[in-house]
Amino acid sequence: MNEVKSLDEILDRPRHIAYLLDMAHRRMRDDLTRLVDARAFPELRGSHLRLLSLIPSAGARPTELAETVQVTKQALGQLVQYLAEHGYVELADDPTDGRAVVVRRTERGRDAALVAARGIRALEQAWATEVGGDRFEVLQEALAALVEGGDQPGAA
């Protein structure tokens, strides 16, 4: 890898990694909006579909979901409240701790999560076609390594 000599060199490069990841994320959101058939769920935004897709089948405590989704407990609470009011999730007593609750998808929530999953799969297929299957697989593996490595002490 080339050594960077100054901050200006980093910032003057229009294709530095922060820029590329941001632009790829924006494109992913735009592409998913086009690919996900959300007509059956017009009141749901991407953040709702993301949360629905990350709730385990058995449900999860709100604190676990907040960590998984990488939002504050308060933000998660607002998302869960909205989804519950619209019939996508339900709150139930935690069978292992009567003081706690778990968030579970309803049948409507499972349907919405399935639509989101199909959209993500279509996005992956479209991007693999665009850049080539082998290159897309390498991209996924590299991103997974960065995500997993971020949990290691001293990882950059």
Is the per-residue pLDDT at 155 higher than 70?
no
Q: Which CATH number fits domain 36-146: 1.10.287.470, 1.10.3720.10, 2.60.40.1120, 1.10.10.10?
A: 1.10.10.10
Q: Is the pLDDT of residue 11 over 80?
A: no
Side-chain-side CA neighbours of 143 within 13 Å: the count stands at 11
Position 56 pLDDT exceeds 90:
yes
Provide, rounded to the nearest whole percent, the portion of the chain with pLDDT above 70.
88
CA atoms of 123 and 129, how far apart (whole Å): 10
Instruction: Please measure the distance between the N-terminal and C-terminal CA atoms of the chain and give it in whole angstroms.
Output: 15
Q: How far is Cα 124 from Cα 82, in angstroms, rounded to an integer?
A: 29
Say whether pLDDT at 8 is over 80: no
Please give the residue that has the higher pLDDT: either 155 or 17: 17
Is residue 81 pLDDT above 90, yes or no? yes
Whether pTM > 0.85 for this model: the answer is no
Query: Contact, 80 vs 89, CB < 8 A?
Result: yes
pLDDT at 51: 94
Q: Where are the domains of the chain?
A: 36-146
